[in-house]
Amino acid sequence: MTDLAHVRQLEERLDRLESEGAIRACINRYMFLCDYLDARTPLDELAGLFTTDAVWEGIGEKYKGTFGRIEGREAIGAMMAKYMVEPAHFALNVHFLTSETIRVHAPDAATGAWVMLQTSTFASGASHLNAARLSIDFARQDGIWRMAHFRTENLFSRPVEHWNASAALPVPR
């Protein structure tokens, strides 16, 4: 292998690693903003995590009917804006991502998959536990990795009693 070929190979590997990091940062920022989704959420930033022609869709029996398919960054932003009300739709909302797989398969195209656990308490006081499989296509648009096709499929969903209690934490003394 020539020195120039070796340098190009290293540059490609470095770009893949940096791309994986940028993709991870994109999905984590999305989840963070969704955790605090209320009237103060920066909607432009949230919508900007998606490509201009992105698709956000619920798939599978439960989520297809609940969420449907939304096409385009503006429409995705409008869907998110429905949650940005006072009082906030969510009194507590926490997303946990596990089982990560990111595959950069072209200079500007990648796929990612996660299992997501979501714990929510709504303004009504009801609480819910959801698990979903996320399958996301990413595209590098204007030099920034963004979500191009976000798919969420429910694995299980159930109401729960409540998440937080004022009781002291049991710690050894």
1-160 CATH = 3.10.450.50
Rounded distance between C-alpha atoms, residue 101 and residue 40, angstroms: 32
- Does residue 47 contact residue 80 with C-beta atoms inside 8 Å? yes
DSSP summary character for residue 40 = T
Given a contact cutoff of 8 angstroms between Cβ atoms, the answer to whether 99 and 93 are in contact is no
pLDDT band at 96 (very low <50, low <70, confident <90, very high): very high
Residue 40's Cβ-side half-sphere holds a number of Cα atoms within 13 Å equal to 5
Q: Residue 122's CB: how many other CB atoms inside 10 A?
A: 14
pLDDT category of residue 161 using cuts at 50, 70 and 90 = confident
Q: Tens digit of pLDDT for each residue in 116-144?
A: 999 999 999 899 999 999 999 999 999 99
- pTM of the prediction? 0.91
Reported as a pLDDT band with limits 50, 70 and 90, residue 162 is confident
Q: Please determine, for residue 42, whether its predicted confidence score (pLDDT) is greater than 80.
A: yes
- Look at strands 144-160 and 69-71 and give their pairing: unpaired
| Domain residue extents for the chain | 1-160
